[in-house]
């Protein structure tokens, strides 16, 4: 046991793992390799191959002096900040390993985890927006994100300007000029440009590079954040296209088994720090048990997403030519030239969540849904099992008719998230369910 003086001189009260090996002979190791061990040192946990679940609310200091040193770091009395674990509202071993591994996928310097995707998004926005500020966002957003901006942040004098997902550079220039004028008038600043691509539920893509260029010319220094839940972390890497912060509902593909709720953000440390500070104050960090489940999920995320993507391509190929099908909103079959151009520059795969337009209306859609035997009728996406839902009468029931029409959420729209079952079984199931339409 080090005595008090030794403890003060030891700069690592944090149970740091040994430095991770990130390359072999100049070859950077791939995320799929790093998911098995990155950020975890078995020596620190009795040799346990897998990280134990650290169910503790607080962490013991080795000495009073080590405790003092920690708090000097936190309060800024000592340079270099605080290292180490002190209280589970701030961090914990499972969460730190998870954050290290999530950062790997997006090529980010740092990551933060949260108890849900919405906790991540709300704390992110609150960390950057102050009274009288403006948030610029693409539209549509996931309904709760849109609601948080329009109905909650507005109570604190924060306004927004939104733009359609496919906006061009010229349109974006106009939007940012409007937002800047609005901020000037309110006596605030443009706090953040917030994107969601593909958008939920339309699958519309945002041109991240055009947003970055427009930001650089009009609003340098304003962070661009993007919700990458639908394609991340495998099929879209937004930090490489100009986004500063990437946000996730880990509940979806990353968790991937429809058995947990969690969220994350990732980006450069300087973008993470204000969010970490607010999370420290508010709480909202993912719990150790869920973090552990996510570590297990990350070991197979590439396999699962690849398989789901391949399945979706086969299923959509079948559905495309079916006489009872009016159309498909699948990123593998984009008809619009502008959207196709964004897809070609930004996306590495078409994903496995898409819209199926049945010939007919609500009755025909319900007949199809009620006759599916493999796919479960449930909201959410990105799990191992295939899910199907009817947005117009479920998730978007309360959306005004005009906005539903604008977003293309019609009565004949069925949303499908393809899982990792056998593709031919899924096709057989869709084929027999369509016979009932």
Binding site for ligand PLP (CB under 6 A): 116-118, 142, 196, 200, 227, 229, 249, 251, 261, 263
The residue among 249 and 352 lying less far from ligand PLP, judged by its C-beta, is 249
Direct distance between the N- and C-terminal alpha carbons of the chain, in angstroms, rounded to an integer: 73
CB of 227 to ligand PLP, least distance (A): 5
The residue among 251 and 339 lying less far from ligand PLP, judged by its C-beta, is 251
The residue at minimum Cβ distance from ligand PLP is 117
The residue among 182 and 353 lying less far from ligand PLP, judged by its C-beta, is 353
**C-alpha 200 chain-centroid distance:** 12
CB of 39 to ligand PLP, least distance (A): 23
CB of 116 to ligand PLP, least distance (A): 3
Classify each residue of 295-308 as buried b or exposed e, where b means 16 or more C-beta atoms within 10 Å of its C-beta: bebbebbbebbebb
Closest among 23, 59, 56 to 38, alpha carbons compared: 23
255, 257, 261, 267: CA torsion to nearest 10: 10
Task: For residue 48, give Cα distances in angstroms to 15, 42, 52, 206.
Answer: 15, 5, 7, 44
* Partner residues linked to 246 by β-bridges: 226, 266
CB of 137 to ligand PLP, least distance (A): 13
The residue among 117 and 188 lying less far from ligand PLP, judged by its C-beta, is 117
CB of 73 to ligand PLP, least distance (A): 32
How big is the chain by its Cα radius of gyration, in Å? Answer: 23
CB of 363 to ligand PLP, least distance (A): 27
The residue among 204 and 325 lying less far from ligand PLP, judged by its C-beta, is 204
The residue among 200 and 412 lying less far from ligand PLP, judged by its C-beta, is 200
The residue among 13 and 263 lying less far from ligand PLP, judged by its C-beta, is 263
CB of 229 to ligand PLP, least distance (A): 4
Which residues does 26 contact at the CB level (< 8 Å), separation at least 6? Answer: none
DSSP 20: P
* Tokens found for residue 75: 């309060």
- Give the integer Cα–Cα distance in Å for 433 and 224: 43
């Amino acid at each position: 046991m080090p005595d008090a003086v030794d403890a003060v001189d030891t700069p690592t009260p944090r149970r740091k793992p040994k430095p991770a090996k990130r390359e072999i002979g100049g070859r950077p190791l791939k995320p799929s390799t790093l998911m098995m061990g990155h950020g975890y040192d078995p020596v620190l946990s009795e040799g346990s191959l897998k990280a134990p679940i650290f169910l503790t609310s607080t962490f013991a200091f080795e000495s009073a002096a080590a405790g003092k040193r920690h708090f000097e770091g936190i309060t800024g009395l000592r340079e270099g900040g605080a290292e180490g674990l002190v209280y589970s509202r701030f961090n914990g071993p499972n969460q730190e390993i998870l954050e290290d591994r999530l950062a790997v996928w997006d090529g980010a310097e740092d990551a933060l985890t949260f108890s849900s995707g919405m906790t991540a998004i709300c704390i992110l926005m609150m960390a950057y927006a102050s009274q009288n500020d403006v948030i610029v966002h693409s539209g549509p957003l996931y309904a709760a994100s849109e609601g948080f901006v329009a109905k909650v942040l507005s109570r604190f004098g924060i306004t927004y300007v939104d733009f359609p997902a496919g906006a061009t550079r010229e349109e974006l220039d106009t939007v940012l000029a409007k937002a800047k004028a609005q901020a000037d008038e309110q006596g605030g600043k443009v706090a953040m440009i917030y994107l969601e691509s593909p958008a939920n539920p339309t699958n519309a893509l945002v041109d991240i590079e055009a947003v970055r260029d427009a930001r650089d010319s009009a609003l340098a220094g304003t962070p661009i954040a993007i919700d990458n839940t639908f394609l991340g972390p495998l099929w879209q890497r937004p930090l490489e296209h100009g986004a500063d912060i990437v946000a996730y509902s880990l509940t979806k593909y990353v968790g991937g088994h429809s058995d947990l709720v969690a969220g994350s953000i990732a980006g450069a440390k300087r973008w993470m720090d204000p969010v970490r500070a607010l999370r420290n104050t508010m709480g909202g960090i993912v719990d150790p048990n869920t973090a552990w489940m996510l570590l297990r999920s990350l070991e197979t995320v590439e396999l699962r997403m690849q398989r789901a993507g391949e399945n979706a391509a086969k299923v959509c190929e079948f559905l495309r030519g079916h006489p009872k099908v009016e159309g498909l909103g699948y990123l593998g079959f984009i008809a619009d030239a502008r959207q196709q151009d964004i897809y070609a520059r930004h996306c590495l795969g078409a994903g496995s969540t898409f819209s199926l337009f049945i010939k007919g209306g609500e009755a025909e859609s319900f007949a199809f849904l009620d006759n599916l035997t493999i796919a479960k009728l449930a909201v959410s996406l990105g799990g191992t099992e295939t899910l199907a839902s009817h947005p117009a009468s479920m998730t978007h029931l309360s959306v005004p008719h005009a906005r539903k029409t604008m977003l293309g959420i019609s009565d004949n729209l069925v949303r499908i998230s393809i899982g990792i079952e056998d593709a031919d079984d899924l096709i057989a199931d869709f084929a027999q369910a369509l016979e009932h339409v």
